[in-house]
Structure 1
Amino acid sequence: MTADDADRSSDEGDASPENFPTSLVPALTEAALHLSIPSGKSDGSSGQGLGLALRLSGTLAERTWTVRLASARAPGENRVSALLAHTAVNAGMSDLPVVGSQIPAALARLSALSLAARSGVTLTTRQVKALQALMAVTGGGAVPLEAEALAARMSVGALLELAGKPLAVWGALAGRGALDPSGQEPAGPVVPVEGGGSVQLWKNVDRALGPLHVRRVGVVSDVEELRLLLDASLNLQGVAFEAIGVGLALSLDGKYRVRALLDGLALAYAAGAVEVAGAFARDSVPPKGMRLAVSGLVAVTTPQISFVAAGLYAELSDGSASVFLIGQVSGLRVPLGPVTLTGLIGGFGYNSALRLPATPAEVPSFPLVGGLQDSKKLPVKDPAQALAALRDIIPPTVGSLWLAAGAELSVFETLKARLTVAVQVAPDDVTVALLGVATAKFPQKGTPYACLTLGFQATYRTSTGEIALRGALDEAQSYLVHPDCRLRGAFAVCVWTAPSTRSGDFVVSLGGYHPAYRRPSHYPEVERIGFTWAPGAAVSVHGECYAALTPSMAMVGGRLRVDYWDGSVRAWLDAHLDASVQWEPFRFDVDLGIRVGAEFTFCGTHRVELGATLTLWGPPTGGLARVHLPLVPDIVVRFGAGRDQSPVTYLDWAAFHARVLGNRALQAEVTHGLLAQRPPAAKSLAPQEEQSASAVPQVGPDGFSFALTSPLPCPAVYVATGASSSELLAGAEDGTVHVRPMDISGGTAPLTFSIIRASDSAYITVSAANVTELRQGVPASAFGPPLSRADEAPDPRGNRELLPGTLTGIRVTIPGPTRVEALAAVSKKELDHKTGASAGHPLSAKAKPSGPVPVAGTRSAVATTLKGTSAKRQAVLNELRSRGLAPGTAAAEDPTDYRTRIFTAVTADPLTATSETNRS
């Protein structure tokens, strides 16, 4: 056996009797028995039965224990039995490290743990008193049997001492019983056992112990340790401390080690008009995905300025840290011309995400806009709930970083606004948001006749390409003329750009859409702009309106409703307007009407209503009028051209190009590889033509790319390879395009471009280039298939607004030069050769220099020479490969194809070499 084995055997004990640890053997040190013999008849008719009480005391692991057993029969009751066991703990706050010596020993201590069990389903007060009397006679200073310990069939309890006064806390373990419902006093509250394999006992105390105020105490126990916890506050000379979950933990591993606990701490201080308050809390059970969560809140208030800050530090399950901090300063008065700065707010977060408001109506209560003090989402009176609410708004997210800054402004004391700019960076997204709320009252003095509170948000996300501006009125704080005339409504402006498949789509809406419009799923829902007013007890007025603009149509409308009722009389007025306009070809449709009616009860219920509706369409203008009269059929009047008779005027190319395309043309843009231009010389004697040529942009060959975009859909894109030949780069050869305003269906509009070398007008191919299709959404009103005659009128339900993913151009990227591996080391033997005019090729003594000498001066001559010496050059490469000296692939080594790229690699013709005699 090794020394380690011996030590381990000594610590853990041996199975042999002589090595068994005696500390684990319970020792019986005292026993007591008490019998209570009833008086009177032996049959027990007096109601008093035989009473038995037994007490056993001893020690175990250096701690005393006691077991009590009692069996009694109260007069007129059934016999009941009870078992009470307890063990001494004797641990208190004075055992805390560092600060324990400063805490009075009798302030808060855990004296003992108890277990109680009893028979019977229900107990009466007489039965409880009989059991308590029997257990008391055994003496020995045991824990008294509390009435609340018998409220359940089995209970666990803790005996505490607060300032020297005993306090018992009991909780039900199993078989919750009930007392006899005969008006007897209940045995006491039953504290439920919480899950998770632990027993948690809490009791509200609400007791003042000098400067210490204890709200509740609790004992939490599991298989590993026992914890004594207090929620208390301490007030010392104006400084109030509040502890949440402060206490100590006693290990149950046999060594009974003590450690300090603190779930939260709050501080409050007041000195005149200056107030300081702060709190931090640690989650005893961190949220999912966290190993540790500590949050804090601090507030400083002075007569002029107040400061509030809140933050969170969390350790996530993967070991990374998550942090966020928000701070707010209010009460400032900094004049900036007509604007006065009254407050600041800001924050940042690392490995945390900022959940922006889903709707503009939520913006005023968003903490980074409404503030930490005024936000409806943060209950400042309860710091723990406020911090929990912040964690929901700013959850930990690995890889996410955000920064926000905002200000509170006042403009001429008439308009007050809060604006916040937030930027959030995630691994696959960047979000920029402007959030704000504005409030205006007119006039400022006296009774205001108008008040508006508008919440708005503007966002841009790179992942979706959506740019959105949305706003909504706060109905609770917006009115006109009278506080009872409440205003409501919202607006939205949304544009979709790349990389979204809806790129090119947009919508502008004030108050929503046409009632029959089928809103696409990605268009926002927008509340009607309207008002509700009850100027009198018998009158109510409701009004609303809307206007919207989409790629295919525009729509506008509204409704007004007035109701009057007075006993048996009711009257109403209802007016409406709904109009829609189709862009190309231009058509409009208008529907408006009004109805006035009354209903009264006199010898029955009588109703009368008058109304008229008008429907217009065009061009040319036509319509239908309908008059509604009581007792007679409706009168219908038709005028102008009919819907199916209205001719459609289509556009020619010139009109379509000007009106629909805005005279836009094909665009060519260098997206990468554009070289910096040379600054012009101070004085130049070059002809005007040469100066203009030098101003032409130049590009480099390293990853040069360009983009071609067309205002028209491109069913196919070709590159010219010759005067009468081309190569398909994108799209399909049989692709077609529709132009609705020109009544073109299945037309062909291929895009063909060419790259021509300026020196010799030769076509340059891009077969080795990378070609990327550029696709975006185009409006169906312009490029959708022509409508049939029955569909020429604008459809308020909305046609297909967008044709997503339409090919509108390409991006061509010329690959940069391919890097090859460096030439390997060459032996000296391979390099040794003769020198002079008769010397041979270093790789072969018989090889002689041969081949035409390139004519200097033009790049074309260099390219021609390269083409003519291709075979000889290939022989050299083959020789290098046979000797293991040629790195890379043959394609990378062979410079023959370089002649086709010489015009992109060399921006000018090479200089002409001359001899010394000719250079004079």
Structure 2
Amino acid sequence: MGNQPTSVLLVVETDPGSQQKKVYLILQQRRFEFATLSTSTDSFAGFTAAYRNENGDSVDITELISDLIPSIADQLPTGLAFSLQQVFLAYQKAPNSAKNKSQASPTFLVGATLGLDINLAELPLIGDKLPTDFTPRINGIQILYAYQDISAELINTLKLPQGLSLPSVSSSKQQETEKPPALHSGLYLSANLTLENNPQWVTLPLSRSKKNRSRAASSQTAQITNTTKADATTQESEISISKSEQNPKNEKIKALAQAPPNVDDTITWIDVNKKLGPLTMQQVGMQFQNSELWFFLNASLSFGGITLSCNGLGVGSSLTEFKPKFRLNGLGIHYSGGGCLEIGGALLRKTMSLKDEQGAIQLDGNGNPITYEEYSGAVIIGTSFKGKKITLSAIGSYAEVKGEASLFIFALLDYPLGGPPAFFVTGLAAGFGYNRRLNPPETVEAVEDFPFVKLAMGGEDKGKDLLQILDSLGSYIQPASGEMFFAIGIKFTSFKIIDAFVLLIVKLGKRTEFHILGLASLVAPPGAVDLGIEPVAEAKLALKAVYIPDEGVLRVEANLQKGSYILSKKCYLSGGFAFYSWFSGEHEGDFVLTLGGYHPKFKVPSHYPQVPRLKLEWQLNENLSIKGEGYFALTASTLMAGVCLEASFEQESVKATFKIEAHFLIAWKPFYYEATVALEIRASVKICFETVSLDIRASLQIWGPPFSGRAFLEVGLVSVEMRFGSSLPPRPKALTWQEFKASLLPTDNAICNITVCDGLIRKLERNKVEEWIINPKEFAISTDSVIPSTASNMADPAQYKNWESKISLRPMDLKPSLSSTHKIEIRRKDELVNQEFSCKPIFKRVPTALWGEGFIPRDPNAPRFIENALCGFNITPKPPENPQKSQEIAYKKLLLDDPISGKAYQWEAIDLPSLRSGSASDTENLKQEINTETIRNKRNMLLQNLGFLPDQDVTINGVFIDELLGEPHSINSSNNPK
């Protein structure tokens, strides 16, 4: 198209009537009437050419521009073929006054008008409510392309055809060189919008040239020009309308109905804000997308206590053929029942792109994004019960993707349900999703913005909050076949000081996940804001916990959010908490609990959480500030804690700083601690142009118990060392076995456990002893011991190369000398049958704090676990050594060669008692007999041997006989005449 040679001809013709010569420009076999532009010296400056489409054929404006300027063909959108009324071309050569001749370039302008006339009174719902003198009308639609920025001076020199208009440049007192252009380079769509007989030109960008794309990216405005004359001359006035939402701030329920959000940010809106009886018009919008031109109204209609609000109620058509279509992006409704009942609701329609688990847009076979229509809704119902306000808020959405229904709903009841002051319930929440993937926040900092938490902890303007939540759901909840989730939450207060919400989410589908999200805010004293006093403390804590059985790890995290303070709003608080525990996988048996982080010398493993320090920052006044931080951490090997406090004072010529820092390493069984404390004091004062300073440094190393240590003091050039207590770190008293067992091991009956791994049919209890009924075909059990074993009657250390059989008892100060045997005996009627079973050892990692060497853990980076400690066995039956086989017999030998003849078989004669007809007395006798104690005990024993619970699984009574056996019959026999 643009790269092919084009045929552009100039044709001179003589008008037979006037005998005047006319010049035509022939382009794409169309005749453009040609006129030249001249300068003040009558030299050639450019030309204009106009073409009137008398036949109404379609003109491809993209091809037309590309033929004129082939270099920009790839920058234009395709498919812009319209039935145009007229086309206008303008050319101006590069100005001679340009400072840089190499950068000077000619200017091309292409304009075309379409013969569309759209009356917004044809819109459903509200169209017939519009007054005839106010009805919005769209006409004079045109396409504009400028190769370079078009200045106001050039516009004035161009003789535009009637019906074609360009936006004017706004009036300004700036210098001529600083004035912005009237039209930036690029492709535009303009329309003449008439409101109250006042026409306005609205111009939307469709594309930009390469050199102006950066400017286009930062510009998000549309130009609107008031037209006052039919010849398209314009006043110097311009209005910039942004694409942001124009939602008025209303009451929380009314806001939901009256201001559904503008979910489509490709629509440019113009504020109208006109009230016409029961009808209120807020905005008029225009959009060009997929070769279709759309016009929209945001309006509301009130009648009988009900307000109906329409968002994005639009009419549109393809520009190649005028076939009007209607669309509605959102619908809101508000009802007020005289104060007893108030309802606000909104329904939104969106076109969404289907995404995978990683958030990438899914594509179809042709490489196009897979899209679907989603309908989202929100509702708030407000009423009162026993003088207390009840508010029910709900959000939800429905979509059909690839033939499957996908939906979710989440509702929050805001009503004081009661409870003790420490846990006073103020609301409940519940949610459900079908064929929906719920993506909980990835970090604890993002919990506050999670839609469900935001809904529960929202402000007073809850109607607006619901709309914002609906508009942000796409990144958290997406359709996904086979995925489901359930959510339940509780909102509560504690002594009216803490206001909290906790939400449990269970995800089902490809894998099962459990999530707990929470947000709590603290204000002390309670009601301080209502009392007009400044709170002593405010804090906001976010909580995030997740347990995924497939990963075998529990993660709990919490953070103080921004805005937390104590004593003063200038005394900021921050910090985090985390608890991780691994149940399986690479890090099985490991755990960590930390508040504010770890010891500075501790090398944090990559799988441990990174937690910010607990910090306090307080600027008391312009001269004095205080900073502090602390931490506490517990790992499988050690306990660590630390604190740092720093104060600074500066006023004119006086400066002083005070800093103290302490770090502790603690072993808890037996209790032992080591700590380093550093103190630094600096002060200086300037007296008569001389600065006098004092530096004091002190460090302290302590250990115990008993409390001992040494201190270093340095004042200026003088240093002193002091010792107290034991000269060497003392050795704490080791635990005895009884102390170790009582404090660090479970009870005797819980040290060793046996678990059924496979084949369990039922568990029974006889004489307070648990018995298992196991399918022998799938029989598998495992043993587990809290104490790692150094020997076993089922395994030889030489058989397993990685078996760590050297186990110590650190709290007892025992070197590798522990002897523990994992003994297994399997008996059949007192006969030992271990040889009939295979035993596979179970190796685990055990904490060095219990079973490792080194009585005093001085190194925080020492190994935390002993790997490959024997802790149990998996036991399964061995296959038979010599399985019996059936003798093979040819099937022909099983065939009968000769028929049976004679009396080869003699059937035994059986005398059957004769039956006699049943009676009601026989039925009663049978009912009594089957429920006698002897029969009942025999029946229960048989059922128990079959693995049933008689009292729960089988019930025999008269109803059973009547319904199942029917009427019984008595028999005649020699032993029983009945």
TM-score by length of 2: 0.64
Distance of 2:863 and 2:613 partners within structure 1: 23
Distance of 1:414 and 1:191 partners within structure 2: 45
Q: Does 1:701 align with 2:776?
A: yes
Match of 1:753 in 2: 824
Q: Residue 97 of structure 1 contacts residue 259 of structure 1 at CA under 8 Å; is this kept in 2?
A: no
Aligned equivalent of 2:566, options 469, 474, 479: 479
Q: Residue 438 of structure 2 contacts residue 478 of structure 2 at CA under 8 Å; is this kept in 1?
A: yes
Which amino acid is the alignment partner of residue 503 of structure 1?
E
Q: Residue 489 of structure 1 contacts residue 530 of structure 1 at CA under 8 Å; is this kept in 2?
A: yes
Q: Residue 447 of structure 2 contacts residue 517 of structure 2 at CA under 8 Å; is this kept in 1?
A: no
Match of 1:712 in 2: 787
User: Gapped runs of 5+ residues in structure 1?
Assistant: 1-29, 137-141, 194-198, 681-690, 720-725, 841-904, 908-920
Match of 1:493 in 2: 579
Q: Does 1:236 align with 2:302?
A: yes
Which amino acid is the alignment partner of residue 346 of structure 2?
A
Match of 2:609 in 1: 524
Match of 1:631 in 2: 717
- Cα offset for 1:779? 0.6
- Cα offset for 1:420? 2.6
**Pair 107,350 (structure 1): closer, same or farther in 2 beyond 3 Å:** same
Q: Residue 58 of structure 1 contacts residue 65 of structure 1 at CA under 8 Å; is this kept in 2?
A: no
Q: Does 1:461 align with 2:525?
A: no
**Pair 58,361 (structure 1): closer, same or farther in 2 beyond 3 Å:** closer
Which amino acid is the alignment partner of residue 858 of structure 2?
D
Distance of 2:772 and 2:830 partners within structure 1: 16
Distance of 2:893 and 2:128 partners within structure 1: 84
Q: Does 1:260 align with 2:350?
A: no
Question: How do 1:766-777 and structure 2 match up within 5 A?
Answer: 766-767=837-838, 774-777=842-845
Q: Residue 152 of structure 1 contacts residue 190 of structure 1 at CA under 8 Å; is this kept in 2?
A: no
- SS of equivalent to 1:633: strand
Distance of 2:327 and 2:890 partners within structure 1: 69
Aligned equivalent of 2:656, options 544, 562, 571: 571
Distance of 2:199 and 2:417 partners within structure 1: 59
Question: How do 1:813-828 and structure 2 match up within 5 A?
Answer: 813-814=876-877
Match of 2:501 in 1: 418
Aligned equivalent of 1:405, options 459, 482, 488: 488
Match of 1:808 in 2: 871
Aligned equivalent of 1:607, options 693, 701, 711: 693
- Cα offset for 1:233? 1.8
Match of 1:85 in 2: 112
**Pair 58,806 (structure 1): closer, same or farther in 2 beyond 3 Å:** farther
Distance of 1:101 and 1:826 partners within structure 2: 95
- Cα offset for 1:34? 11
Q: Residue 790 of structure 2 contacts residue 807 of structure 2 at CA under 8 Å; is this kept in 1?
A: no
Distance of 1:361 and 1:112 partners within structure 2: 52
Which amino acid is the alignment partner of residue 608 of structure 1?
L
More deviation in 80-89 or 805-814? Answer: 80-89
TM-score by length of 1: 0.68
- Cα offset for 1:35? 8.7
**Pair 67,188 (structure 1): closer, same or farther in 2 beyond 3 Å:** farther
Match of 1:280 in 2: 347
Q: Residue 662 of structure 2 contacts residue 675 of structure 2 at CA under 8 Å; is this kept in 1?
A: yes
Which amino acid is the alignment partner of residue 299 of structure 1?
I
Distance of 2:860 and 2:328 partners within structure 1: 63
Question: How do 1:145-160 and structure 2 match up within 5 A?
Answer: 152=185, 155-160=188-193
Which amino acid is the alignment partner of residue 777 of structure 1?
R
**Pair 109,705 (structure 1): closer, same or farther in 2 beyond 3 Å:** same
- Cα offset for 1:335? 3.2
Distance of 2:46 and 2:372 partners within structure 1: 58
1:361-414: CA deviation from partner (whole Å, max 9, x where unpaired): 5545544334256179x9964766432322223344443322222232234444
Which amino acid is the alignment partner of residue 437 of structure 2?
A
Q: Does 1:295 align with 2:314?
A: no
Distance of 1:379 and 1:444 partners within structure 2: 21
**Pair 564,267 (structure 1): closer, same or farther in 2 beyond 3 Å:** same
Distance of 1:802 and 1:752 partners within structure 2: 24
Q: Residue 634 of structure 2 contacts residue 640 of structure 2 at CA under 8 Å; is this kept in 1?
A: yes
Aligned equivalent of 1:322, options 406, 421, 433: 406
Which amino acid is the alignment partner of residue 653 of structure 2?
S
Distance of 1:795 and 1:469 partners within structure 2: 28
- Cα offset for 1:608? 1.0
Distance of 1:51 and 1:496 partners within structure 2: 79
**Pair 276,51 (structure 1): closer, same or farther in 2 beyond 3 Å:** same
1:479-504: CA deviation from partner (whole Å, max 9, x where unpaired): 24x5544444443333332x343332
Aligned equivalent of 1:114, options 121, 142, 153: 142
Kindly, what percent of the aligned residue pairs are identical? 22
Match of 2:524 in 1: 441
**Pair 156,458 (structure 1): closer, same or farther in 2 beyond 3 Å:** closer
- Cα offset for 1:310? 1.7
Q: Residue 152 of structure 2 contacts residue 168 of structure 2 at CA under 8 Å; is this kept in 1?
A: no
More deviation in 201-210 or 805-814? Answer: 201-210
Aligned equivalent of 2:647, options 562, 575, 582: 562
Distance of 2:241 and 2:521 partners within structure 1: 50
- SS of equivalent to 1:391: helix
- Cα offset for 1:640? 2.7
Which amino acid is the alignment partner of residue 829 of structure 2?
A
Distance of 1:711 and 1:668 partners within structure 2: 12
**Pair 630,227 (structure 1): closer, same or farther in 2 beyond 3 Å:** same
Distance of 1:697 and 1:633 partners within structure 2: 75
Match of 2:312 in 1: 245
- SS of equivalent to 1:305: strand
Q: Does 1:60 align with 2:52?
A: no
Q: Does 1:553 align with 2:638?
A: yes
Which amino acid is the alignment partner of residue 113 of structure 2?
H
Aligned equivalent of 1:170, options 187, 193, 203: 203
Which amino acid is the alignment partner of residue 226 of structure 1?
E
Distance of 1:669 and 1:71 partners within structure 2: 89
More deviation in 603-612 or 661-670? Answer: 661-670
Distance of 1:336 and 1:564 partners within structure 2: 49
More deviation in 703-712 or 205-214? Answer: 205-214
- SS of equivalent to 1:781: helix
- Cα offset for 1:708? 0.8
Which amino acid is the alignment partner of residue 692 of structure 2?
H
- Cα offset for 1:613? 2.6
Q: Residue 564 of structure 2 contacts residue 574 of structure 2 at CA under 8 Å; is this kept in 1?
A: no
Q: Does 1:131 align with 2:168?
A: no
Q: Does 1:213 align with 2:286?
A: no
Q: Residue 597 of structure 2 contacts residue 633 of structure 2 at CA under 8 Å; is this kept in 1?
A: yes
Match of 1:737 in 2: 806
Distance of 1:630 and 1:327 partners within structure 2: 68
Aligned equivalent of 2:587, options 502, 516, 521: 502
Q: Residue 169 of structure 1 contacts residue 201 of structure 1 at CA under 8 Å; is this kept in 2?
A: no
- Cα offset for 1:548? 2.6
More deviation in 558-567 or 378-387? Answer: 378-387
